Structure 1
Amino acid sequence: MTFKQVGIIGAGTMGSGIATSLAQQGVEVVIMDTTAEAVERGLAAATKFYNRAAEKGKMSEADVDAASARLTGATDLAALADCDLIIEAIFEEFSVKADLFKRLNDVVGDNVVLATNTSALRVSDLAETVDNPSRFLGLHYFNPAAINPIVEVVRGEKTDPAIFDRCMDFCRNTAKKPIACKDSFGFAINRFFVPYGNEAVRLLDEGLGTAAQIDRVAQDCLGVAAGPFVVMNLVKPKIMFHAQRNLGPHGAFYSIAKTLAERGDSDYAFEIEEDATGKPENDEVIADRLRAATFFPVLQEVDEDVATAADIDMGAGLALRFGKAPCELMDSLGKDEVRRIVSLVTDNYDHQMPVSVEKVGSLRA
């Protein structure tokens, strides 16, 4: 094992899920949060997961006991002093994360590997708050982290290549499929997945279809297991708001849809109708817009060497359950059709056509 003891800061959904997965794979884990109640909820979530796995015959009682014994809780950062890897999994706000890492400087040695589970913030910006930023990188686990196999391993501008490789191996050794990513807002997967959801809200705002219709068309044209509104209701629209806001530096197309912007941090869910018919005359327009919102960011990140086309497709399939992975789908549609679809973004938002459109047909080669 490349790390003997891992500290997880944040006992919420993501933190407890990462801890659950690692302990099941033989890693000693300290899960830390600001209150004992939060820590107990995180530990209880792990116990519940293990017990359900045992009921399904996926874990033995001995395995349950062993995994549970590897998990301990704490409410003080000092409890993480003996960890050799610490993963931050707290609120997706730069200032909150930056403050945490500044406080960690006084708790752990500068040889301890520090990682952020951010889904969209630049790792290199957070690294500036850390003593010895060469040991800092991104480890973005996907929800539900206890079972989702994908982890984006993000190399910051100052990340030591040896530490990056060590973390890639650690992910493989703990039953995950790592995606090597260059540091960029949104990394490999949320770079396109969040704008795809944002575009669905734009379509709803423009009255081109109902939420149920847009979900239906998405399932057909992209082969997703669940449409964007079902997914946004599961992860909470306010999470999508923050994620899309973090993508803003990429340009005009990444601006936040009207409803997401207006409702911001409030707790709400989209109403999804039982009848998914909507306005069937708009099905083709909706399909084109959803594909454009997916294809354009993917081609941009291929241009920027954020990740390989094969890894982007692996993440789309395994993390997001896209039945038609973006690069494979573009290759099947052909260069002319993809150019037509992507021009819906480039023409309307004054972006350049990605150079990688010329590789369509052999993106995954």
Structure 2
Amino acid sequence: MISIAIIGAGTMGSGISIGAASSGNQIYLIDESDAALDTALRKADTVLARWVEKERLSEEDAKAARARMKTGVLEEVIPRVDLVIEAVFEDLTLKQTLLRRIDPLLKSSAIVATNTSCLKVADLAGSLSRPERFLGLHYFSPAEVNPLCELVRGPQTLDEVAETALAFLKSTGKQPLQCRDSSGFAVNRFFCPYTNEAARLVDEELAEPAEVDRVCRDVFGAAAGPFLVMNIIKPRINLNAIRNLSTLGRFYEPADGMIRTGDADQFWTIEEGDDTPGPNDAAIADRMVGATCLAVLQLLDEGVASPQDIDMGASMALKFGIPPCTLMDNWGQDRIRAAVEPICKAYDLPVPDTLERVGRLFT
């Protein structure tokens, strides 16, 4: 058992705390909002009760897990914990300010992790006097049950720190995906273009949200299409992740509809429809596959993660039944080229070198 301070009691922080507490760790949840802390603890009560009902936990173990979840004051908690996980809003300045605030409070052996989904670990590490004890642990929502967590080493992260974090993740039932420090890491690097291209299709009046969702369920074997997924995670949060990738170029900049919906803190309207194929299905499929696979090919060029790990991430975090590297090998090089090259041309991008390996990505 280790002691963990989780800073930020929102959706992610509360989920991380529930999962870690149920694995035997002492949790101190910290937030400037008492209302957020109350909501997080009520969520814990609900989740643990559901796990008891489903026989995932005994009633005794659930009570013990809940007893290990406490709230605390930052200045009092940080000096005595083994691990700090920051899970505040995805804003570079906010995270840097928080890290600078906790830095003088940390004990020398403490490990600090950021739950950032898109910001580079290197851009945050400079806020700490011991960057070698800092890394990224990117959990996926809902963090209390989603098994995937990206483990991202910063440029100075010590091997022993990464190994300790790896052991911690495994002890809490998580499947680590180790990847290079890069904007969007492995999964959001292609998930953001996937959702963004869906919004572009609607902006261009090529499809309605329900049509895009239907095609993506079929093509990617997805449990839910991009618009339903965005409504689950909130378009505002998705828009912020996309904006954090926009430094990578025009292709990654948010679509107009994504900006309107996200900035208004609204949800996408998904009209009920049947599963009858439509006349634009092939065009929708090519655009969605082209955008998604272009991002995957780029991150393969950059050595961010392996095809095996990318597909594992897509399967575990996004519930893709046909994850992108498998899809590319299934479609073959010519068909993927036909989907990717028009997007490269539209955004003045080079065709990724890894396209030449499509058809044998896993060999």
Same fold flag (TM > 0.5): yes
Q: Tell me which of 345, 351, 354 is aligned to 2:352.
A: 354
Distance in 2 separating the partners of 1:37 and 1:221: 42
**Partner in structure 1 of residue 9 of structure 2:** 11
Distance in 2 separating the partners of 1:38 and 1:107: 23
Q: Tell me which of 94, 97, 101 is aligned to 1:96.
A: 94
Distance in 1 separating the partners of 2:185 and 2:96: 19
| 8 Å contact kept, 1:136–1:159 | yes
Q: How many residues align?
A: 363
Q: Tell me which of 191, 200, 203 is aligned to 2:201.
A: 203
| 8 Å contact kept, 1:212–1:275 | yes
Q: Tell me which of 52, 56, 59 is aligned to 2:57.
A: 59
- The offset of 1:286, in angstroms, is 0.5
Q: Aligned partner of 1:273: which letter?
A: E
Distance in 2 separating the partners of 1:344 and 1:222: 20
**Partner in structure 2 of residue 249 of structure 1:** 247
More off after superposition, 74-83 vs 141-150: 74-83
**Partner in structure 1 of residue 119 of structure 2:** 121
* RMSD of aligned residue pairs (Cα, Å): 1.4
- The offset of 1:334, in angstroms, is 1.3
TM-score (norm 1): 0.96
- The offset of 1:226, in angstroms, is 0.6
1:1-365 equivalence runs, <5 A: 4-275=2-273, 280-365=278-363
- The offset of 1:279, in angstroms, is 8.9
Distance in 2 separating the partners of 1:279 and 1:205: 21
- The offset of 1:278, in angstroms, is 9.4
| 8 Å contact kept, 1:88–1:115 | yes
Distance in 1 separating the partners of 2:117 and 2:274: 31
Give the SS at the match of 1:281. Answer: coil
| 8 Å contact kept, 1:137–1:159 | yes
Q: Deviations over 1:16-38 (max 9, x none)?
A: 10000011111111111113332
| 8 Å contact kept, 1:292–1:341 | yes
- Runs of 4+ that moved beyond 4 A: 276-279
Structure 1 residues without counterparts, runs of 5 or longer: none
Distance in 2 separating the partners of 1:348 and 1:115: 38
Structure 2 residues without counterparts, runs of 5 or longer: none
TM-score (norm 2): 0.97
| 8 Å contact kept, 1:212–1:276 | no
Q: Aligned partner of 2:265: which letter?
A: D
More off after superposition, 36-45 vs 297-306: 36-45
| 8 Å contact kept, 1:210–1:276 | no
| 8 Å contact kept, 2:78–2:102 | no
Q: Deviations over 1:252-294 (max 9, x none)?
A: 2111101122444321011111125799221111100000111
Q: Aligned partner of 1:225: which letter?
A: A
| 8 Å contact kept, 1:110–1:131 | no
- The offset of 1:248, in angstroms, is 1.1
